[in-house]
Homo-oligomer: A and B are copies of this chain.
Amino acid sequence: MLEVKTPEEVLRLIETEFKPLGRTETVPLAEALGRVLAEDVKAEEYVPDFDRSTVDGYACRAKDTFGCSDAIPAILNLVGEVKMGEGAEMPVPRDACVYVPTGGAIPAPCDCAVMIEFTEDYGDGTIGILKPGAPGMNLIFRGDDVFPGKTVLKAGRVLKAQDIGALAAVGKTEVPVRPRLRVGVISTGDELVPADQKPGPGQVRDVNSPMLAALLRGCGVEAVDFGIVTDDEKLLREKTKAAAESCDAVLLSGGSSAGVKDAACRILGELGELLLHGIAVKPGKPTILANAGNKPLIGLPGHPVAAYFVARLFVLPLLARLEGRTLRNWPVRAVLSESLNANHGRMQLNACRLEETDGRLTATPIRSKSGLITQLAGADAYLVIGRDCEGLPRGAEVDVFWN
């Protein structure tokens, strides 16, 4: 019999027992948002590929302007104009300048750009420079942003909008990413009917399948719905096996009666190596984890709230592990609006609502009997009460996690 493990032990187990899948596929840039980068992206070119002005003004040699001032301007001959999006191949003799717009290319002999505000156009083909330039002033040099070989993004990064921008900048329009994980979702229980059916006597609607599918989809994972299986061990074995064969992981949920729990445990133990039977967390204790050749088979609690928390706290990091990325989930600080009892000896999770008052965040725990889904509906966040905490008083500062 496996022992109940602490949350920290479970997270360590995930790292030691499962390996990143290491697969790669290529997607167009427009579809890369939220995907996991499979390889480091290195630039192959210079961005920009030319020296650029950061101001509207005049490109010139800085030394031709040294010592100038409002009283004694440097007089430069205007010998040309740089157009946006065109090269700046023109010759620029000594004591000459070229008009350049913001973002325009700088002709090679010039080493600075003087803002138009510090110049005067005399209308006779000469420009007065009222403030001396300095080499490099108001310029972005070729390759300042990116140069060949520079790592733009690292493998494992979940691509955000700004990363899409950076990939566009370096012309990486085909992006190597981790294929989306396929995760099979199975609900078990004689009492369950699909959400679109009216429950008969003793029946309830299946909450876990649509909730877990949504949680997975929200993390970029393809959820494959294997439907509701009645409390029949043979059927459940067949369905679980089929899911394990066609998916990267299987989430088996429901089965609140002791018989079904035992069956789920037997089935997962047959299909893989049982790693875990019970997590010291409330709610969420009756959780099973097996490893079938680097495929996680997970038995979640039947209670929707417990299933939700176990999926968030343990299944999402497990899937992140398979994708070779780190999951970031940092708390925000809030003040507890009412006291909260804790269950000494088990880490406790509590959904809460957050409200801003005078720039401070107040967390109000949502209280309900265990297992009621409305504890989660409309919840903004959840808070974690440590195993050794005996309760928190009103006004305590707590860490809350958005959910």
A350 contacts across to B, CB distance below 8 A: none
Is B105 a contact of A206 with CB atoms below 8 Å? Answer: no
A272 at the interface (CB under 8 A from B): no
The 7 lowest CB-CB distance pairs between A and B, nearest first, are A87-B201, A165-B211, A166-B377, A162-B376, A161-B215, A85-B190, A85-B191
A-side interface size class: 35 or more
A83 contacts across to B, CB distance below 8 A: 190, 202
In whole angstroms, what is the CA distance A354 to B104 when docked? 35
A94 at the interface (CB under 8 A from B): no
B101, B168, B208, B218: the one contacting A259 at CB < 8 Å is B101
A54 contacts across to B, CB distance below 8 A: 369-371
Is A56 a contact of B153 with CB atoms below 8 Å? Answer: no
A239 at the interface (CB under 8 A from B): no
Interface flags, A358-380, vs B, CB<8A=1, else 0: 00010000001111111011111
Is A231 a contact of B84 with CB atoms below 8 Å? Answer: yes
A210 at the interface (CB under 8 A from B): yes
Known: A162-B379, A162-B403. 15 other contacts (CB 8 A): A33-B217, A84-B190, A85-B189, A85-B192, A86-B190, A87-B202, A103-B191, A103-B256, A140-B372, A161-B218, A163-B377, A164-B214, A167-B195, A168-B211, A169-B373
Of the stretches A8-16, A263-271, A273-281, A326-334, the one at the interface is A326-334
Are A373 and B145 also in contact (CB < 8 A) when A56-B257, A202-B88, A258-B56 are?
yes
Are A308 and B165 also in contact (CB < 8 A) when A50-B201, A89-B201, A202-B105 are?
yes
Is A145 a contact of B258 with CB atoms below 8 Å? Answer: no
A347 at the interface (CB under 8 A from B): no
Are A206 and B168 also in contact (CB < 8 A) when A189-B103, A330-B361 are?
yes
Are A84 and B161 also in contact (CB < 8 A) when A166-B377, A201-B50, A377-B152 are?
no
Residues of A in contact with B (beta carbons under 8 Å apart)? 29-30, 32-34, 45, 47-50, 54, 56, 82-89, 101-105, 140, 144-146, 150, 152-154, 157, 160-171, 173, 189-192, 195-215, 217-218, 231, 256-259, 302, 304, 308, 328, 330-333, 351, 354, 361, 368-374, 376-380, 402-403
In whole angstroms, what is the CA distance A140 to B303 when docked? 12
Is B47 a contact of A166 with CB atoms below 8 Å? Answer: no
B85, B168, B368: the one contacting A207 at CB < 8 Å is B168
B32, B168, B331, B361: the one contacting A205 at CB < 8 Å is B168
Most buried by B among A210, A212, A259, A351: A210
Are A331 and B328 also in contact (CB < 8 A) when A87-B202, A105-B201, A213-B30 are?
no
Chain A to chain B contacts (Cβ below 8 Å), 19 pairs: A30-B214, A32-B214, A56-B257, A83-B202, A84-B191, A84-B257, A85-B203, A102-B258, A157-B378, A160-B218, A161-B214, A164-B211, A165-B214, A165-B376, A168-B211, A169-B373, A171-B197, A173-B196, A330-B402
A207 contacts across to B, CB distance below 8 A: 165-166, 168-169
Most buried by B among A32, A162, A214, A302: A162
A378 contacts across to B, CB distance below 8 A: 152-154, 157, 163, 166
A377 contacts across to B, CB distance below 8 A: 152-153, 162-163, 165-166
In whole angstroms, what is the CA distance A157 to B54 when docked? 43
B56, B192, B371: the one contacting A140 at CB < 8 Å is B371
Most buried by B among A201, A351, A377: A377
